[in-house]
Amino acid sequence: MAQTVQIIMTDDIDGGEATETVTFAIDGQGYEIDLHENNAAALREALAPYRKAGRKAPRASSRRRTGTTQQRNSETSKIRAWARENGYEVGPRGRIHQHIINAYHQAAGTTGN
C-alpha cells in the first residue's frame, strides 16, 4: 500500500501558513521557529542592527550541552505519547512543534528547562 505524507507548517507567530524554518540563537540557546516569509523578513529586519554590530561566535553546537542525549530522547518520547493521547498530530520522528511542547509542559506543570 502506498502512502503520501503531507507536512503542513504553521507560522508560530500568527497561525497562518509557514514557508520556512528560521534558526537563531541568543544567550547561548539556539531556537527554531516556523514562519511565513513576511514574518521571517520582519524577524531578520528586527535583528539586523544587532547582527551588524555583533561579531560571529563559535557555533552553538560546539559548546557543551546540558543533559544527555538519552535524557532528551526520553522527554521527547514522553511528549509524543502525551500529544497523541491528547489529540495532537505528531510524527514518529522529527521536530515537535513548540505549541505542543508548551502544552505538554503546561499540563505537566513544568517549565521545560
Tell me the DSSP string of 73-103: HHHHHHHHHHHHHTT----SSSPPPHHHHHH
Kindly report, residue by residue over 35-88, the tens digit of the pLDDT. 999 999 999 999 999 999 999 887 655 445 555 666 667 788 899 999 999 999
Amino acid at 7: I
- The residues with which 35 forms a beta bridge, in sequence order, are 20
Domains of the chain: residue spans and CATH: 1-64 (3.30.60.230), 66-113 (4.10.320)
Does the global pTM surpass 0.75?
Answer: no
**What distance in Å separates the CA atoms of residue 51 and residue 83, rounded to the nearest whole number?**
36
